[in-house]
Structure 1
Amino acid sequence: MLDTAVRSLATGDPAAVSGNRIAKEIGATWGAVKYQFGDIDGLWAAVLQRMAERRGDLPVSAPADATLQVRVGAIVDNMYEGLTVGDSRAIENLRAALPRDRDELERLYPRTASEFESWGRAWLDTCRRAFAGLDVDPERVAEVAAFIPGAMRGIVSEKQLGTYTDLELARRGITNAIVSYLKPEVI
């Protein structure tokens, strides 16, 4: 059921967020889906959990003795690659259908909001692990973790839409900017 829901969402079709449509694609009734997940909030929370299970722990793809530059490059590449797979399109389609206001999302879809929150914590943990052992300000690591997903979504969007921008240059520029920001101040 959950894999069918992810595939449906990954089409990018705004109608793919319909519980009835998902049920039809699964070959079940909406009542059967509700029995399994409770409601649409339960279904979306389970879909997000399923994607998180498939993703597993976000890897830190740089060795522990790597330089700050290599580690930042690995984080940027990790996010870029993650945003170019089908699950990412499914998440974006789901997010587009959900309330933008955090309070409203938490009120109307508490389990889905909780799953999104857990994804944010996992990403922050990945960034903290990536920079473990380096002399970097933890507050700045949290700031970097907060802006990388949006910045990388912009670059992925450029790739999908077609662009005259050199996307490798853009990724290198983001990496260099983050390295400069995280580099310990020399007094």
Structure 2
Amino acid sequence: MTAAGTEGRRSNRRGIATRENMLEAAVRCLASGDPGAVSASRIAKEIGATWGTVKYQFGDVDGFWAAVLHHTAEQRGELPVRTDADLPLRERVSAIIETLYAGLTSSHSRAIENLRAALPSDAGELRRLYPRTAAELSTWGDSWLQSCERAFADLDVDAARVREVAAFIPGAMRGIVSERQLGSFFDLDEARRGLTNAIVAYLEHSGRRVNP
């Protein structure tokens, strides 16, 4: 019984190692930017595995992409949020902008961008064809919104405006990061300061406004 139990634990460890190797291989392949890298079979071959191994570990390609997204989210962790009572609004906004500016150039971010570009852009179609992947992406949006709400919860800001800001910041930062990658004629330090200033002006004391 002991020998059988030991063998079972070893087999389980091998399975976990195979799963982790496949997820890391997926990130490496997807981060290359090659559209052809968005292939579970190709990624499996990168570590000498088979499509059968993918199905055993993840069920199907939808399960595989959902697991890749979950893996990158675990590696990234939550957005660091400082809510010190004496931390000014400007510093909180600037911290979010700079965190995204650095994070969006990581290999995990490049992998995610390549994967999302290959998936259906229509939300309904994505949910129909890749329900587990769509569900994982949906949790990202919820987590991001919650992080932004926590970042400003103790300040005099309007909750609706915080949600609006949370909705546009990722796209705005992807645009600035794209400018850096393509080679911009603009001062991107100035661009980030301008975005920070605009957000601060929009949020500052907005909690006092009277809704019509």
TM-score, normalization: structure 1? 0.96
1:82 Cα deviation from its structure 2 partner: 1.4
For residue 47 of structure 1, what is the aligned residue in structure 2? 68
1:62 Cα deviation from its structure 2 partner: 6.5
CA distance in structure 2 between the aligned counterparts of 1:7 and 1:162, rounded to whole angstroms: 24
1:78 Cα deviation from its structure 2 partner: 1.4
For residue 71 of structure 1, what is the aligned residue in structure 2? 92
From 116, 123, 128, the counterpart of 1:95:
116
Matched, 1:31 2:16: no
CA contact (8 A) 1:61 1:78 kept: no
CA distance in structure 1 between the aligned counterparts of 2:84 and 2:93, rounded to whole angstroms: 12
- Aligned-residue sequence identity (percent) comes to 67
From 180, 184, 187, the counterpart of 2:205:
184
Q: Write the letter of the residue equivalent to 1:144.
A: V
CA distance in structure 2 between the aligned counterparts of 1:102 and 1:64, rounded to whole angstroms: 39
From 74, 77, 85, the counterpart of 1:56:
77
From 151, 169, 172, the counterpart of 2:190:
169
From 82, 86, 101, the counterpart of 1:80:
101
CA RMSD of aligned residues (A): 1.3
Larger radius of gyration, structure 1 or 2? 2
For residue 143 of structure 1, what is the aligned residue in structure 2? 164
1:26 Cα deviation from its structure 2 partner: 2.2
1:63 Cα deviation from its structure 2 partner: 3.9
Q: Write the letter of the residue equivalent to 1:134.
A: L
Q: Write the letter of the residue equivalent to 1:131.
A: F
Q: Whose relative contact order is higher, 1 or 2, with alpha carbons under 8 Å and at least 6 apart?
A: 1
Q: Write the letter of the residue equivalent to 1:12.
A: G
Q: Write the letter of the residue equivalent to 1:15.
A: G
Q: Please list every run of 5 or more consecutive structure 1 residues that lacks an aligned counterpart in the other structure.
A: none
Aligned to 1:65, the other structure's residue is in SS state coil
CA distance in structure 2 between the aligned counterparts of 1:148 and 1:89, rounded to whole angstroms: 18
Q: Write the letter of the residue equivalent to 1:42.
A: G
CA distance in structure 2 between the aligned counterparts of 1:154 and 1:132, rounded to whole angstroms: 27
Name segments (4+ residues, structure 1) moved above 6 Å: none
Higher mean alpha-carbon deviation, 151-160 vs 65-74, is at 65-74
TM-score, normalization: structure 2? 0.85
Q: Write the letter of the residue equivalent to 1:65.
A: D
Aligned residue pair count: 187
